[in-house]
Amino acid sequence: MNYLGRMILAAALCVVLRAPCQAQQDSSQAGPPVARQQAAPPAQPLAQGPPQAPAELTVEEIRQIASPIQRMIAVDRLVADKEYDEALEAYQEMLAADPQNVQILNRMGNTYQALQKMKEANHYYKLALKADGHFAAAVNNIGCIYYSEKRYGKALREFRKAVKMDPEKASFQSNLGYAYLAKKKYKPMMEAFHAAVALDPTIFDQHNRAGAIVLERSVEDRGAFFFFLAKTYGQIGDAERCLEYLTKARDEHFKDILSVKTDPAFARVRPKPAFKEFMDGLTPPTGPNPSSAV
């Protein structure tokens, strides 16, 4: 084969060998449209990752945000900053454009609840349920209203329904536990607290969740509450949190604090040095001090 023939053959081979590689690259760049569309933004952006919208926007600036998700995040920040009137105004405008949006309806309820306007909050939670009868967050939040009003039986009913709808939600399980505690039903309370901690070990460290009961401040018998939390963490071997809540129970003068020395719930953490030190500090005096006896 002469020189010209070899050059033509080489060029042909180059075209053949490069073509599939270029097609594959084009395919990877374009991608199937349906697959890209399925990568939708999460339904509750605040719980799913860091927000993208700029902070401290005015209502007028929020109106200019094109993405509904980013707009909602911006309004959520107004709520976090306790700019409730501005948040309600922005939510209301979003609701006018999408009146069946359960996330906006629920957030309206959250905001009114933060303002202690329970009638209005309940109204929007019920609208959310009317739009979606399986929207468990609204059921939970109605339970929170009943709980704040000390109508514990009705709160218990709503929390049970919420847990049945979504048993994997730690806040629903913990709220159910609070209602059982208020009703002095300790066995199911412990079961609910265990379920909550199994789903999220930090659940009782988080005090500002929208629609959840404000944890410690809403419990009448704080000493018992802290002690039961200590038992919950003791049973899973979390010595640090167990001691944290035992210390709070002791500081609240929980009358049965000495049972920590024999209660099987603390068996896994009792051998820990810090735990032994705590128990030693609980040892009561053997008798009255003679110099102070009357």
Angle value at C-alpha 111, between 80 and 137, nearest 5 degrees:
100
Would you mind telling me the total number of residues written for the chain in this entry?
294
Residue linked to tokens 């802290």: 226
195-233 pLDDT tens trace: 999 999 988 875 544 444 434 346 667 888 899 999 999
The two tokens of residue 92 are: 């209301």
> What percent of the chain has a predicted confidence (pLDDT) above 90?
57
Q: What percent of the chain has pLDDT over 70?
A: 72
Contacting residues for 176 by C-beta, under 8 A, at least 6 apart? 156, 159, 160, 162, 163, 192
pLDDT per residue over 141-167, tens digit each?
Answer: 999 999 999 999 999 999 999 999 999
Cα radius of gyration (the chain): 29
- By CB neighbour count within 10 A (0-12 exposed, 13-18 middle, 19+ buried), where does 273 fall? exposed
**C-alpha to C-alpha distance for 9 and 187, rounded to whole angstroms:** 84
pTM: 0.70
291 pLDDT band, cuts 50/70/90, is: very low
pLDDT given for residue 236 in this prediction: 93
DSSP letter for 266, please. G
- Distance (Å, whole) CA 164 – CA 160: 6
| Interatomic CA distance for residues 282 and 71, integer angstroms | 54
**For residue range 30-45, what is the model confidence (pLDDT) as tens digits?**
333 333 233 333 333 2
Alpha-helical runs (H) found in 3-66: 3-30, 33-38, 45-48, 59-63
Q: What is the pLDDT of residue 61?
A: 84
